[in-house]
Amino acid sequence: MNRTIIIFLFVLFADFLLAQQIMSLRECVEYAIEHSVNVEIGRIDIDDARIARREAILKAFTPTIDAGTYAYLNFGRSVDPETNTYLSTTSFNNGYSVSGNIVLFNGFSAVNNIKISKIAMKMGVTQEQQIVDELCLAVIEAYCNMAYFSRMVEVVSEQVKTASDNLLLAQRKEQLGQKSYADVVQLEAELAEREYQYITMKNQLNDAILMLEDLMLWEERTCLSIQTSQTFQTYLIDSIVEITHHPAVALAEYKMQNAKTELNTARWRFAPSLSLSGGWSTSYYTYPNTNGYVATPYAQQFVNNGGEYVQLSLSIPIYDGLSRYSNIARKKNAYRRAEAEYRRTLQEVESEVERAVQDREGSIVAMKQADRRVKAQKEAYNINTKKFEQGLISPLEFKTSSDNYLNAQAEYLNATLKYFIKTCVVNYYNGVNYLEQL
């Protein structure tokens, strides 16, 4: 049996064993986002930040309330609550209390904590968006890589079929004396080379599938397959808008704002703090082992022994080992560091934007040139195919023409996918996320 037929039967049998689920680029990206562990962790962090913000708000505007009770037996010397004299008899005591406290002023620490928690929640949302954007770009690149090798497998398989047909034709002509043995051997070598290219492309395609499945955390039992007929097109945005909306820049800005707020909090710790507290308590007592003693009824003691208090406290910091001054110095350094990191991030993103625009412009020129080349090589290949069938060119010349056409197709496909990716990146820097472009 011909080796080409064996290869094709093997491929068809493998595809039959693994039922493939065909997915578009957008479906792959959505699946990756839905199953991403990093995205799930980011959402948990956002939930923690939301809880911290709620806690800061409640701590700033609501009092703390405590309630307590106690009950004990005293077997030794004790003071009679009614007469204030010492007794040496067993007594039973039971009490209840409720107290509350609210901070009226603490150097705007509570307000600053609310600001910090609010910024932390924004940072969590921005970090999650950054993780999603990085995952989207990685899936797009892996998808395009898989699309490239899928298309190249189809192209090389056509080359294998053409080489096989040419070999059969040459073998018949050799039997008729129209072709030499050397020509047949040359065509056999070309067929072997095409089969080798096909197997290589198939292996690279399998690697690309595994890479895409790893990024997507593919959990299905079916083998992943993509729409090879999908057209990779996106819209162009000529001018670059403000890049402050970029997640990396926004995250650095949030860190700078957070550091500034913490510095203000440290400075206000030199201010006095004022708090208001109040409470109510009552108690019950009796002497269970005292003969002739009749305790006041429980309900009456509960009312008679009740008492309330209101307390206004003012705390003025004087000296604490210069810890406040040291804390301000550290917060100043943290703010300066965050400010420097913000400027550095801004410069890095600006450089990335310029590089992305240059890459997109370069990919446009490369794609147009590759398109012209593939059209020219296709025309040359069709002409040389007819010449070869008529015996006007040698197998070596025909192989050269076939190689040139194959390389032109590969370069055009690569340029098209590269242009698509670079355009997506430029649009992303203009504020359009990757999912909206698909």
Contact 67, 98 (CB under 8 A): yes
pLDDT of 15 above 80: no
The letter for the amino acid at 113 is N
Tally the residues of the chain. Answer: 438
Whole-angstrom Cα distance, residue 382 to residue 374? 12
Pairing assessment for the beta strands 223-226 and 20-23 based on DSSP bridges: parallel
- Position 268, amino acid: W
Phi first, then psi, for residue 212 (nearest 5°) are -65, -40
CA distance 294 to 312: 40
Report percent pLDDT > 70 for the chain.
Answer: 91
- Give the pLDDT confidence score for residue 2 in this predicted structure: 52
Helices 109-175 & 247-268 angle (0-180, nearest 10): 160
Q: DSSP per residue over 352-385, as a string?
A: HHHHHHHHHHHHHHHHHHHHHHHHHHHHHHHHHH
Both structure tokens of 246: 């970029």
For residue 4, pLDDT beyond 70: no
Q: What pLDDT is attached to residue 16?
A: 43
- Mean pLDDT, residues 124-138 taken together: 89
Task: Please name the residue that has the structure tokens 């509960």.
Answer: 302
Give residue for tokens 């039971």.
94
Rounded percentage of the chain residues whose pLDDT exceeds 90: 19
Distance CA 122, CA 126 (A): 6
| Residue 63 identity | P
Residue 172's φ and ψ, nearest 5 degrees, are -65, -45
Burial (CB count within 10 angstroms: exposed 0-12, middle 13-18, buried 19+), residue 176: exposed
For 263-275, what is each residue's pLDDT tens digit? 998 888 888 889 9
Structural domains present in the chain: 3-66+107-274+319-437 (1.20.1600.10)
pLDDT of 5 higher than 50: no
SS3 call for 125: helix
Cα(322)–Cα(311) distance, integer angstroms: 30
- How many CB atoms lie under 10 A from the CB of residue 44? 12
Residues 175-213 pLDDT 10s: 877 777 887 888 888 888 888 989 999 999 999 988 998
In angstroms, the first-to-last Cα distance of the chain is 46
Q: What is the pTM of this model?
A: 0.76
* Residue in 220, 246, 226, 239 with CA at minimum distance from that of residue 349: 246
What are the tens digits of pLDDT across the range 292-329? 677 788 888 888 889 999 999 998 888 877 888 898 99
Question: Which two tokens mark 136?
Answer: 């989207």
What is the per-residue pLDDT across 47-59, written as a single tens digit (0 to 9) for each? Answer: 988 888 888 888 8
Q: Cα separation of 278 and 98, whole Å? A: 9
